[in-house]
Amino acid sequence: MPKYIFVTGGVVSSVGKGTVAASVGRILSVRGLRVSFIKIDPYVNVDAGTLNPYSHGEVFVTDDGGETDLDLGWYERFLDIKTSRMHNITTGQVYSEVIARERRGDYLGQCVQIVPHVTDEIKRRVRLVGESGVDVVVVEIGGTAGDIEGQPFLEAVRQMRLEEGYDNTLFIHVALVPRLKSTGEFKTKALQHSVNELRRIGIQPDIIVARSEQKIDDSSKRKIALFGTLPESAVFCSYDVECVYEVPLILEEQGMGDYIVERLRIGNPRPEWGEWKRVVNLFKKTDKNVRIAVCGKYTKLTDAYVSVKEALIHAGVNLGARVEIGWVETEDIEKEPEKLRMLSEYDGILVPGGFGKRGTEGKIECIRYAREHDIPFLGICFGMQMAVIEFARNVCGIERACSTEIEPETPDPVIDLLPEQKMIDEKGGTMRLGALPIHIKEGTLAHRLYGSTLIYERHRHRYEINHNYWETLQRHGLVFSGLSPDGRRVEIIELPSRFYFLATQFHPEYLSRPNRPEPAYLGFVKAALDKRMGLEKFELPQLVV
């Protein structure tokens, strides 16, 4: 029978509940247990695909084309697993299902209610993952205790405690404990209130994780235990650490692993931390720095590019380098073009994915700067499309080249809607999504990086390089080094005349792991390091072990 661990949050959101959930998973997986995850997002959207990255951060794409919450990215990176759309449950999905059933007549004669119909559907979805051949499912409930939207989910997991039994369920409550700068005091009252909020609906946490800037003191810990009705050994602290992959280690050090396996009667297999510690040590061994400019439009909330950021960090540490990221707002460059010159301070320039017109001319200028000054460049999805526009305008002389996404009436749509998208009006879940095969041309930079002629990478786009311009672009030196198997979609472009100039229609960052950096990112960061050292040409990376 699978065990269920429910992770709730208190006081404020975005304090790293996802990291704690992923860390709990890692703590159990090093004990040989098969762990899976569910992220519950109580919003009414069916998925994260239509959410603004400014309020919710990046949309994480799974192999099966799910557009999901970014926490799934943390689960994948922490456990080196692959999740799918079934691992992200939202109110929208649950209600769509219940309403569809009602229309079909499945509940004929009944009044359809939140309890039991909606809660039953929530439990069914949670158990679907539990019954997929795993030992433990960590279920993270988004938002904070007391949110109106969260109530049916908390009610459902409260019922699961009764149905699955005490030994098979565990509640972990993660809440912020602020520290007052003036007195240095840790304040636990808000945490206490959030525990009360949970108890009001019948959930007594088994473990409390105090999330704080620094390790909380013993008296705060005692207070949390006393008011939370827990032994002190069930109170843990997740304090700020330099490297996020250290969080499982600091929780383990406080005894969390032993506490959980004992409480869930799992037996106590010895943890094998060897590989994970090796990864964390990589972060400490960095003896050089490399500066990367990420030129985008959501730079004020870097969670909007969290997988890009992590992929850069993974590439760096595996080369013994600490990546310093400069977030460049491309709209600012449009307003003050002289700001472009600050790009000379960077060793590499990355233009990430994006949508819509704002900041695009600035992105195109950043790419031009990278190409003309031969600064290593990596373009991702929209970044690749902008690179093609830049090349078409400034190398092929197609002055008004643009994307129909930005300028629907452009005379030269070098980037245009995918043909199969032309009939689609609905926005939710309709892009070209998920893992798809890519054929790589032999003898290209991409081939050297991936060491294969066939790869699978995750996509999320509606636009592509317009077939009518292929010949012109190639004649001027742009190489299409990756294509879809039918030869109709361009997946990777490169400029062999440059030190490192590569862009992908897919999103390589979703597959990057701390112990296994993604080749396009790894090559990019290596190029940035090498170019600064004055190397003549790009050489394939050797990883530090």
Task: Say whether residue 463 binds ligand GLN (CB under 6 A).
Answer: yes
Chain residues 420-439 in contact with ligand GLN, contact rule CB under 6 A = none
Residue tagged 């959501």 (tokens): 298
Chain residues 339-358 in contact with ligand GLN, contact rule CB under 6 A = 353-355
Catalytic annotation present for 447: no
Task: Say whether residue 461 binds ligand GLN (CB under 6 A).
Answer: yes
Tokens coding 326: 């400069």
Catalytic annotation present for 56: no
Q: Is the dihedral of CA 334, 338, 344, 346 positive or negative?
A: negative
Cβ–Cβ < 8 Å for 59, 53: yes
Part in contact with ligand GLN (CB under 6 A); list of ranges 81-89, 249-257, 460-468, 480-488: 460-468
Task: Say whether residue 314 binds ligand GLN (CB under 6 A).
Answer: no
Cβ–Cβ < 8 Å for 214, 240: yes
Chain residue at closest Cβ approach to ligand GLN? 353
Least distance (Å) between residue 295 CB and ligand GLN? 13
| Cα–Cα dist 155/158, whole Å | 5
First-last CA distance in the chain: 39
Task: Say whether residue 47 binds ligand GLN (CB under 6 A).
Answer: no
Q: Which long-range contacts (CB under 8 A, 24 or more apart) does 388-391 make?
A: 388/414, 388/415, 388/465, 388/473, 388/478, 388/493, 388/503, 389/364, 389/414, 389/415, 390/364, 391/473, 391/476, 391/478, 391/495
Q: What is the largest CA-CA distance in the chain?
A: 77
Least distance (Å) between residue 33 CB and ligand GLN? 35
Among 487, 293, 456, smallest CA distance to 373 is for 293
Would you give the DSSP letter of residue 45?
Answer: S
Secondary structure (3-state) at 50: helix
Task: Say whether residue 10 binds ligand GLN (CB under 6 A).
Answer: no
Question: Nearer to ligand GLN by C-beta: 327 or 355?
Answer: 355
| Cα–Cα dist 191/224, whole Å | 8
Task: Say whether residue 296 binds ligand GLN (CB under 6 A).
Answer: no
Binds ligand GLN (CB under 6 A): choice among 381, 446, 478, 520: 381
Binds ligand GLN (CB under 6 A): choice among 153, 186, 382, 521: 382
Which x/- pattern, by CB under 6 A, does the window 384-413 give for ligand GLN?
---------------------x--------
Among 83, 77, 40, smallest CA distance to 62 is for 83
Question: 136-141 and 35-41 as β-strands: parallel, antiparallel, unpaired?
Answer: parallel
Q: What residue type is assigned to position 53 of the chain? A: P
Binds ligand GLN (CB under 6 A): choice among 17, 161, 462, 531: 462
Catalytic annotation present for 381: yes
Least distance (Å) between residue 460 CB and ligand GLN? 5
Question: Nearer to ligand GLN by C-beta: 353 or 508?
Answer: 353
Residue 289 CA to chain centroid, in angstroms?
A: 24
Question: Nearer to ligand GLN by C-beta: 336 or 426?
Answer: 426
Count of residues near ligand GLN by CB under 6 A: 10
Annotated catalytic residue within 381, 390, 402, 518: 381
Question: Nearer to ligand GLN by C-beta: 192 or 299?
Answer: 299
Question: Nearer to ligand GLN by C-beta: 118 or 388?
Answer: 388
Tokens coding 202: 């019948």
Part in contact with ligand GLN (CB under 6 A); list of ranges 46-54, 137-145, 245-253, 454-462: 454-462
| Cα–Cα dist 439/441, whole Å | 7
Annotated catalytic residue within 117, 173, 314, 507: 507
Applying CB under 6 A, which residues contact ligand GLN?
353-355, 381-382, 405, 460-463
Catalytic positions are: 381, 507, 509
